[in-house]
């Protein structure tokens, strides 16, 4: 019996040895297969805290107009729908939401507020959606994320007694221009209880919106100056009126968070060319003595001369004329007075330089005002009977350094 056991290859001991060997091999094979399957099936993003995809080329009017449409092109293997997703703005993690869908919804909600009426709406910032694996990250709701990204509410101030725009600007460290920009309808007069914006919310994201506009605009005319040797130096007159032109402008207006930031002109079509204004500028030097024209045209009738009259000096000459006849400047110069003067009635005084000033009294109507530059022969008033007078005429005086002199010496 013992001999048979030793010679039989199928003895129990041999079978046991083979079984142990097979079990070992099978265990090794199963271990290898398990490792291979685990490697293939593992989400490799778990080895990294964040993997992101840039959305900075997204814009309404360029793509379909939705972030979720854009994100369909992303690999779910790398950015799972149910994976916490961060909105990264200019390299900084701004907010984290529970999944990609919520993150996309937040961005779309922000863009939608600026979409109406615009051909393009997009973020100026570099915006990315990034998968997050860290369990320590705070997950925000859509409402919380929107509040954080859109900034705090505008800060307001209720006007109190004795407040002024200046005192309010000092209180909040802003300028008067800031107050007017924040409150477009406000005026310099404010009242108790009035509510003013003193701080604009500062959103984290900058939304750029673009729209094309077509409008008519003026083309400003130029002014051309030409020298005139017959006019006194420092005097001028318009010899041809200018006229603005008209053009049709096609432009793209860009807004940042609803505030216009720039205008890019695409095309201009000129409908009407501008016409230049022509102005003559006097170059004639003012001489020590002046040659004056009579202030009245036509036949000259002097009804009262320069000199003593009724026991006192008559400081000028009186020239007869009809009511509302034109009164002309005897020479070019600057109007230094135009108004009512006792005795003279309506009076014009013109300074011709070198101490010479001419007076034109009793006018019915004045056609110039103080500061006007007038040229020789320019109409300055109309004949009347204002002041102390017995009939329509012009009282004409010449004064040298403030002292009346005989006008006949200078009239030609």
Q: Which pLDDT tens digit goes with each residue over 289-328?
A: 578 999 999 999 999 999 988 888 999 999 999 999 999 9
Report pLDDT for 7: 47
pLDDT band at 152 (very low <50, low <70, confident <90, very high): low
Mean pLDDT of 163-185: 91
Is the same domain home to 191 and 247? no
Is it the case that residue 225 has pLDDT exceeding 80? yes
Task: Please tell me which residue, 393 or 78, carries the higher pLDDT value.
Answer: 393
- Give the alpha-carbon dihedral of 45, 46, 49, 55, to 10 degrees: 30
Residues above pLDDT 90, as percent of the chain: 58
Residue ending a domain, among 140, 164, 199, is 199
Q: Which of 151-155, 163-167, 226-230, 395-399 has the lowest mean pLDDT?
A: 151-155
Q: Give the mean pLDDT of the chain.
A: 83
Is the same domain home to 57 and 109? yes
Is the same domain home to 224 and 146? no
Is the same domain home to 187 and 143? no
Is the same domain home to 307 and 404? yes
Is the same domain home to 232 and 260? yes
> Which stretches does DSSP call E strand in 116-258?
120-123, 127-132, 155-158, 195-199, 207-219, 223-232, 236-240, 245-256
93 vs 105: CA distance, rounded Å: 17
Say if 375 falls within a structural domain: yes
Report pLDDT for 358: 97
Radius of gyration for the chain, computed over Cα atoms and rounded to the nearest angstrom: 47
Say if 166 falls within a structural domain: yes
- Please report where in the chains the tokens 């056609």 appear, as a residue: 367
376 vs 297: CA distance, rounded Å: 13
Positive or negative, the Cα torsion across 396, 400, 403, 408?
negative
- The CATH number of whichever domain residue 335 belongs to comes to 2.70.70.10
Is the same domain home to 275 and 187? no
The model scores a pTM over 0.85: no
Mean pLDDT of 281-288: 73
- The CATH number of whichever domain residue 233 belongs to comes to 2.20.230.10
Report pLDDT for 19: 61
Say if 290 falls within a structural domain: no
Is the same domain home to 81 and 119? yes
> Which stretches does DSSP call E strand in 98-139?
120-123, 127-132
Say if 59 falls within a structural domain: yes
Is the same domain home to 106 and 177? no
Say if 161 falls within a structural domain: yes
Report pLDDT for 229: 87
Is residue 89 classed as helix, strand or coil in its secondary structure? strand
Instruction: Select from 242, 205, 249 the least CA-distant residue to 222.
Output: 242
User: How confident is the model over 3-34, as pLDDT tens digits?
Assistant: 444 444 444 454 455 466 666 676 667 767 65
Say if 262 falls within a structural domain: yes
Report pLDDT for 67: 46
Is the same domain home to 121 and 61? yes
Say if 38 falls within a structural domain: no
- The CATH number of whichever domain residue 191 belongs to comes to 3.10.350.10
Give the residue numbers spanning the domain of 95: 47-150
Mean pLDDT of 374-403: 94
Is it the case that residue 49 has pLDDT exceeding 60? no
Residue ending a domain, among 127, 150, 173, is 150
Question: CB-based contacts of 15: which residues, under 8 Å, 6+ apart?
Answer: none
Is it the case that residue 39 has pLDDT exceeding 90? no
Is the same domain home to 275 and 351? no
Tokens of 104: 């996309």
Residue ending a domain, among 199, 221, 256, is 199
Is it the case that residue 43 has pLDDT exceeding 70? no
User: How confident is the model over 107-150, as pLDDT tens digits?
Assistant: 999 999 888 888 899 999 999 999 988 777 889 999 999 988 88
Report pLDDT for 128: 93
Mean pLDDT of 21-48: 54
Report pLDDT for 284: 79
pLDDT band at 78 (very low <50, low <70, confident <90, very high): very low
**Exposure string (b/e) for 153-172, b if CB count within 10 Å is 16 or more?**
eeeebebeeebebeebbeee
361 vs 387: CA distance, rounded Å: 8
Task: Please tell me which residue, 9 or 86, carries the higher pLDDT value.
Answer: 86
Report pLDDT for 63: 37
Report pLDDT for 6: 46
Is the same domain home to 103 and 131? yes
Say if 294 falls within a structural domain: no
In total, how many domains does the chain have?
4
């Amino acid at each position: 019996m013992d001999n048979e056991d030793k010679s039989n290859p199928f003895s129990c001991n041999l079978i046991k040895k083979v079984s142990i060997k097979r079990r070992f091999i099978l265990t090794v094979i199963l271990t290898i297969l398990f490792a291979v399957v685990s490697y293939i099936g593992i989400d490799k993003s778990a080895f990294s805290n964040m993997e992101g995809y840039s959305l900075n080329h997204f814009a309404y009017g360029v793509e379909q107009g939705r972030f979720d449409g854009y994100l369909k092109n992303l690999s779910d293997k790398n950015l799972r729908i149910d994976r916490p997703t961060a909105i990264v703005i200019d390299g900084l993690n701004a907010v984290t939401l529970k999944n990609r869908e919520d993150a996309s919804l937040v961005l779309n909600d922000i863009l939608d507020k600026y979409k109406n009426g615009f051909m393009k709406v997009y973020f100026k910032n570099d915006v990315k959606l990034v998968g997050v694996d860290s369990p320590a990250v705070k997950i925000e709701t859509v409402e919380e994320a929107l509040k954080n990204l859109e900034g705090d509410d505008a800060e307001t101030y209720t006007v109190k007694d004795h407040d002024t725009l200046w005192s309010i600007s000092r209180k909040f460290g802003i300028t008067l221009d800031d107050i007017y920009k924040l409150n477009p309808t406000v005026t310099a007069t404010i009242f108790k209880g009035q509510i003013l914006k003193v701080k604009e919310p500062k959103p984290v994201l900058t939304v750029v919106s673009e729209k094309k506009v077509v409008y008519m605009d003026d083309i400003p005319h130029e002014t051309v100056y030409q020298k005139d040797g017959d006019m006194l130096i420092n005097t001028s007159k318009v010899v041809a009126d200018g006229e603005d032109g008209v053009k049709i402008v096609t432009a793209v207006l860009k807004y940042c968070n609803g505030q216009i930031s720039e205008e890019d002109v695409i095309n201009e079509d000129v409908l009407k060319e501008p016409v230049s204004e022509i102005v003559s500028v006097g170059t004639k030097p003012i001489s020590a003595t002046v040659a004056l024209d009579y202030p009245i045209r036509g036949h000259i009738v002097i009804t009262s001369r320069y000199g003593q009259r009724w026991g006192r000096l008559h400081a000028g000459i009186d020239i007869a004329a009809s009511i509302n006849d034109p009164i002309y400047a005897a020479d070019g110069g600057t109007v230094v007075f135009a108004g009512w003067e006792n005795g003279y009635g309506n009076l014009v005084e013109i300074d011709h330089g070198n101490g010479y000033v001419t007076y034109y009294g009793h006018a019915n109507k004045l056609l110039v005002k103080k500061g006007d530059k007038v040229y020789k022969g320019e109409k300055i008033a109309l004949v009347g009977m204002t002041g102390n007078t017995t009939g329509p005429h012009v009282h004409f005086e010449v004064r040298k350094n403030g002292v009346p002199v005989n006008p006949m010496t200078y009239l030609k």
